[in-house]
Structure 1
Amino acid sequence: MPMLPEHADEVLAIFQSGIDGGNATFETACPTWAAFDAGKLAGHRLVARDADRVLGWAALSPTSDRPVFAGIAEVSIYIHPDARGRGVGRTLLGAVIDSSERGGLWTLQAGIFPENAASIRLHESMGFRMLGVRERMGRHEFGGRSVWRDVALLERRSDVVV
């Protein structure tokens, strides 16, 4: 279902959980809802819910403001720790892929820490291919220390949008 402002608290809490886990993002603090919302493409922000709560979310972000790159977006997907291993990620990633193709996007990319093997497997199972690992992409401030982190770059090209 579409991500709506009333999902903000739960979406940001799930994002914070990813930050706290140390293998999801370089971010060290959760953004405000306004900043989060401004950085995502309208129409390509989804949540998975059960009857009571948000189980996870997926969203697309622009990779550039240059018109030539308007068909390329970066995927973010975060699953509540209690909902992992239940197919929520596959459902959300499939839905955001469908959304991207309906919106005319021809390429989705994902930057994933190599240690996040479950996320890499999920993306590969949904048609993403590993382009390579970009070494020492950034310093990650986590757990009171600062370490260089590599980022695996994955890409999915649409067979529908050509």
Structure 2
Amino acid sequence: MTHIDHTINLDIRAVQREDLPAILTIYNQGIEDRIATLESETKDQSYIEAWFEEHQDRYTALIAQRHGTTVGWAAINRYSHRCAYDAVADLSIYVTRDARGTGVGSQLLASLEQVAQENKFRKIILFTFPFNYAGQGLYRKQGYRVVGTFEKQGVLDGKLIDVMIMEKVL
């Protein structure tokens, strides 16, 4: 699937193996910035290779490029291995530091939702930090609603962190 938005010169397509170094860089930025994930250690090539293998077929990943430069990626992740939740997906979305706030996230999320529907998902959930206001703004703009907050759900840099759950029925 390819989607081009000429207003921000963005090309969105399925991730290919050659995209992995750029995806790894962007993911590691998200880890370092401490605003998008409870992961605290940057990842390496073996990690991203395994991630790629898990994001084939129905659980897919998209990459956004502007003028040939990767500026973000998004993925449909398995929510649960229980068959009752087969139509529910979890999502990940990461945008490179210098492209945040430029519309990349909105375009990626819209494209990911389209692919999710094509892949027979009826609902997308996500986990975010209560202090990730930019992320929450993106999700709310796309119609996601807050379900609740897990208090002291994880640990990041030795501190207990709350995690907010949001969802959208497709």
Task: Tell me if the contact between 2:150 and 2:162 (Cα under 8 Å) persists in the aligned partners.
Answer: yes
Alignment of 1:49-128 (within 5 A): 49-128=65-144
Paired letter, 2:163: V
> In structure 2, what is the Cα distance between the partners aligned to 1:12 and 1:153?
25
> In structure 1, what is the Cα distance between the partners aligned to 2:113 and 2:129?
21
Q: In the alignment, is residue 139 of structure 1 matched against residue 155 of structure 2?
A: yes
- Deviations 1:10-35 (CA, angstroms, capped at 9, x unpaired): 00100000000011101122252222
2:39 corresponds to which residue? 27
- Deviations 1:83-129 (CA, angstroms, capped at 9, x unpaired): 11110000000000011011110110010011110101101111110
Task: Tell me if the contact between 2:36 and 2:132 (Cα under 8 Å) persists in the aligned partners.
Answer: yes
- Deviations 1:36-68 (CA, angstroms, capped at 9, x unpaired): 224435353101101231100000110111111
Query: TM-score under structure 1 normalisation?
Result: 0.90
Paired letter, 1:30: K
Paired letter, 1:100: A
Q: 5+ residue gaps in structure 2?
A: 1-12
Query: TM-score under structure 2 normalisation?
Result: 0.86
Percent identity, aligned pairs only, is: 28
Paired letter, 1:42: D
Paired letter, 1:16: N
Q: Cα RMSD between the aligned structures? A: 1.3
SS at match of 2:14: coil
Task: Tell me if the contact between 1:41 and 1:62 (Cα under 8 Å) persists in the aligned partners.
Answer: no
